[in-house]
Structure 1
Amino acid sequence: MEVACSLVKGLINSTFLMVGIKLQVKEAIFRTLTRNGMFDNSHIRLSLTRGKKVSSGMSPAFNLYGCTLIVLPEWKPPVYDNTHGITLVTATTRRNSPNNLDSKIHHNNLLNNILAKIEGNNANADDAIMLDKDGFVSETNATNIFLVKKGRVLTPHADYCLPGITRATVMDLVVKEGLVLVERRISLSEFHTADEVFTTGTMGELSPAVEIDGREVGDGRVGPVTRKLQSSYKKLAEESGVPIPSYQKK
């Protein structure tokens, strides 16, 4: 009984600790946005470091001064052409395997993605599709990816890609719109022969892909399913959100 009580107390303490940390992060975000007068159409990048080190070396034991939270807000630029669509190419650089580095961790080790982006730049494409070690599509260098075929919406498993927040939101919208959602391994040829393709991300939101590897996607124009989901996403974004409290200057 004493052991059980200790476990319950530990879980309660951990819960309160997590709630407190979330409140501190929200407070830091709100203060930063308020100080810079950024209340709409802005993008926030959060970076959490391991803190100050007393000596060089990879061991976390050298980090003795706690973590440092960096809140970097920026005005959200039009990253992709969501009206007319974007072009994609397939990169030779593969996405990291979860056997080596868990793709579900949003970390700063993005060298593979950067190399894939360089390949996209060299091909004058907007982004590059990255494959997993078995040759199946994982994501692009910066976004998650979906295809539409015969009214069904397909997306790769989140094994070799980051399970993005926008990705999850769009998956919910697909179901709410009464469309069939399939999450499975998808070959590159299925993307080449898809009726529609679109990518999702915090910065770009829903971006239609009208060309992949020099091949037109569908009829080369933004498809009806993509437009419907774009409209649903825009409406959701306008109707939801977290109010920013007003802070008094001290």
Structure 2
Amino acid sequence: MQSKYIWINGKLMNGAEVQMPFLTPAVHYGMAVFEGIRCYRAVNGPAIFRLREHMERLLKSATVMGWRELPFTAGQLIEACVETVRANGHEECYIRPLIYLGAGGWNLNLDGGQAQVGIAVWQWNAYLGPEATENGVRANVSSYTRHHPNVSLTKSKVAGNYPNSVLAKTESVRLGFDEAIMLDTQGMVAECTGENIFLVRDGKLLTPPDAQILEGITRDTVMILARDMGMEVIAQPISRDQLYTADEVFVTGTAAEVVGLREIDFRTIGNGRTGPITRKLQQAYHASVRGELPRSAKWLTYVPSK
């Protein structure tokens, strides 16, 4: 991954020259929060999808983490994201803003440190592989449990939370799967390592409740699009065995977008391919990010040319 220009604390810098000192507290303690955002080639040019919602969630993550003051507002960070995409000249790219403890805080107290902010962009296409959208992917239920919300706060995209996902994903890939499904501390389905999860049963869309998951912006988008289609969307506890008997199962995330699960724990889901409702939601999602739906006008932030 390369970013020609990276925005650091208010100014664009040559990406090759940006370095983080070894003694940066965020590296040692995971004291950072981040977002994953996408810019798409839309009908009127490059456009960043649901940028404001992502920036507001970033600042909420920082609040949950415990920061009392931050050096930039949501509006300033929105402008910085647009500026960084424009400077790098991408029509489509992935955007990574990061708020991190750049100095101080060695006594494990945020109040003794200083928050810094960076934004990088790079080209990143199929997160779960080039054939995932069409064919779906294979998953298993991980041996690792998703964080308890009173152990590591699940509503915040904290960098230090992600070893949980890395452990689960690495285990699953080594076992021959593409993704891991993680259960919560009560043994109910929570989410995947970087995506939220949905089931289709009798034409209804089911998804785990909000309490122990990261409330994904792609998840929210798909729920809105499904309701626009007249589908009933229900957030309720989901057991592991309900996955196996679902008509369709799919996952959503900024990187993954909308991808079906064709197999879980060696059990074929549906007909073993991306199901018809998943396909409809994929198509609606792709139309929304490219400015082809009425809702797109509120969801897209266009990047002006230089």
After TM superposition, the score normalised by the length of structure 1 is 0.86
CA contact (8 A) 1:156 1:185 kept: yes
2:133 is matched with which residue? 82
Name the residue aligned to 2:106: 56
Counterpart position of 1:125:
177
- Tell me the amino acid that sits aligned with residue 88 of structure 1: A
Partner of 1:221: 273
Tell whether 2:189 aligns with 1:137: yes
Corresponding position: 1:67 with 2:115: yes
Q: Unaligned regions of 5+ residues in structure 2, if any?
A: 1-68
**Residue of structure 1 equivalent to 2:79:** 27
Could you tell which deviates more after superposition, 178-187 or 23-32?
Answer: 23-32
RMSD: 1.7
The reply on whether 1:242 has 2:294 as its aligned counterpart is no
State the shift of 1:229 in Å. Answer: 0.6
* Structure 1 residue 238, shift from structure 2 partner: 1.1
1:41 aligned to 2:89?
A: no
Q: Percent same amino acid at aligned positions? A: 34
In the TM superposition, what is the alpha-carbon distance from 1:57 to its structure 2 partner?
Answer: 2.3
CA distance in 1, matches of 2:301, 2:99: 22
1:242 aligned partner, one-letter code: T
Aligned to 2:207: 155
Equivalent residue letter for 2:238: I
Q: What's the CA shift for 1:99? A: 1.7
Deviation at 1:32, TM superposition (A): 1.3
**Paired letter, 2:139:** L
- Cα deviation for residue 246 of structure 1 reads 4.1
**Greater share of strand residues, 1 or 2?**
2
Q: Deviations over 1:50-101 (max 9, x none)?
A: 3322x732122331xx421111211122112111110101101000011212
Please give the per-residue CA displacement for 1:89-131, whole angstroms capped at 9, x wherever unaligned: 1101000011212211111121211111111112111110000
Partners of 2:76 and 2:231 in 1: CA distance: 39
Q: Please, which runs of 5 or more residues in structure 1 have no aligned partner?
A: 1-16
Which of 171, 176, 180 does residue 228 from structure 2 map onto?
Answer: 176
Is 1:115 equivalent to 2:167 in the alignment?
A: yes
Q: Which has the larger radius of gyration?
A: 1
Range moving further from structure 2, 26-35 or 181-190: 26-35
